[in-house]
Structure 1
Amino acid sequence: MPKPQIVLIPGAWHTPVAFTDITAKLESHGYTVHSRQLASVGNPDPPQDLSQDISILRDVVHEAIGDGNDVLVVPHSWSGVVAGSGLVGLGKKQRKAKGEKGGVIRSAYMCAFVVPEGVSLLDALQGELPDWWYVNEDGQSVVKDASYFYTDLPPAEIEKWAKELKTHSFGTKKAKSTGTSWKEIPSWYLLCEDDAAIPKEAQEAMVQGVRDGGGEIEVTRIKSSHSPFLSHPDAVVEWIRKAAGEEL
């Protein structure tokens, strides 16, 4: 039985380079890993809605499904909004009903936003911009204090990863979600208890929102910052392998 293919989706301001370590570890365990930079990130012509990001996600997932593979999608942070909208209809159960093989067996959210339909990231923040990022004159959101992502990394590592951050379209943060794939695809959630970017209380509220909305979600807690794939890569890889169906 082939292992599920894995799709890693970077969060706001981030690119797939952030997943370099866990990608190598997953590949060493026999997984094929897919990841792509979203249109919102580092784009001089920033999109104003989620459609371009959704299109990229769906392309990557279709690539992973191929001739009928099972797929595990792992969104981080903001990209949970994209996954909630973009994976509608791509679940294995939904594809089987259409006579199609393979599909997404599970979404494994890493301290990610999971929101109802019609809710934007800005809505989830109650309309208030955190003080560690701002919007520039080009309509791009820019991080001014990257330490919020990496509170459990050494200073040299924080500096290294801060240099990898890009601009992120503010328009997509105001854009309303267009779907709730978490109602049809089972979810796992890695709840990061030391997260300074999305406090654990906010993560807990989103998990409860999934349950209240009729979704299925299993929670694993970890003492980690907002970037567990950097500070706790082995624990994250183990969690992803379990989410993919391995008995560890």
Structure 2
Amino acid sequence: MGTSELLSRPEELSMTTFVLVPGAWHLPSTFDLLRGELDAVGHASLAVKLPTTGPDPHGGLRDDAAAIRTAITAVGDPVVVMAHSYGGIPATEAAAGLPNVRHLIYLAAYVPDVNESMFTIHGIPDPDDTDGLFPIGGDPRAQLYADVPAAVADQAVSRLVDQRVQPWVDRVTEAAWQTVASTYILTEQDASLPVDLQSRMAARTRDVRRIATGHSPFLSRPAELAALLDAIDREKDA
């Protein structure tokens, strides 16, 4: 299975395609296990490569949002956008005003309002220099993959790449969750994005679900996450 190509879809599969947006430092391959499980429950999917994420990071929030919009519009069919962590910020901007976006799912993700950024959400002043890289941190395995099987976690850590500071400072100009049906999936054992902050951001969405995992359930419990995503999508048809 490719990491960024649309899966071929036999007739029996759902007409809903999941567009998956990774967080900071992560490439589309982070969703490979989840994409396999989505395929098994009847959903095509694609994962977006964000320009501000390595191996050759460049641009800012608007560039990431443009990449997501391109992926959404290329699908044509009804789309559910699922964004993880930082990915919630460009997805919030990208999904606004696109008629084929039927639902927006935030997975342990930021839910910014207009004129907010990741820095403003955390109450951090903008840095003087926004042209550099943001460090991953001293122990990414503990922060991001604490409950992920050892071999999978080792591979995930080896695949982490550089991340630009600029998109964390750039402010959102459109907030799709204001007009698009949205769900927040709160990760209850998260060591990266505090649960209380997730709860505050989740209040901006119309529906909140919980999963008893760390920050990366697409690696720790991909089948469970795929079943939850499928259930959310099916309930919107009921």
| 1:164–1:88 CA distance, 2 compared to 1 (3 A) | same
Give the match for residue 112 of structure 2.
115
Letter in 2 for 1:152: D
Give unpaired runs (5+ residues) of structure 1: 96-102, 130-135, 211-215
1:32-181 to structure 2, matched below 5 A, reads: 32-44=44-56, 46-47=58-59, 49-65=60-76, 69-90=77-98, 95=99, 103-127=100-124, 139-144=132-137, 145-147=139-141, 148-181=143-176
Deviations 1:40-93 (CA, angstroms, capped at 9, x unpaired) = 10054521x31111110000000112xxx2111100010100111111101xxx
Letter in 2 for 1:146: P
Moved more, 165-174 or 137-146: 137-146
Please give the TM-score of this superposition, normalised by the length of structure 2: 0.86
| 1:138–1:44 CA distance, 2 compared to 1 (3 A) | farther
SS at match of 2:135: strand
Report how many aligned residue pairs link the two structures. 221
The CA distance in 2 between the partners of 1:155 and 1:29, in whole Å, is 26
Q: Is the 8 A contact 2:130 2:166 kept in 1?
A: no
Letter in 2 for 1:108: I
SS at match of 2:30: helix
SS at match of 1:113: coil
Letter in 2 for 1:63: A
Please give the TM-score of this superposition, normalised by the length of structure 1: 0.83
Give unpaired runs (5+ residues) of structure 2: 1-11
Deviations 1:109-142 (CA, angstroms, capped at 9, x unpaired) = 111100111111111122179xxxxxx9960112
Letter in 1 for 2:92: G
Letter in 2 for 1:105: R
SS at match of 2:134: strand
Letter in 1 for 2:148: L
Cα root mean square deviation, aligned: 2.3
Q: Is the 8 A contact 1:149 1:197 kept in 2?
A: yes
Q: Is the 8 A contact 2:131 2:165 kept in 1?
A: no
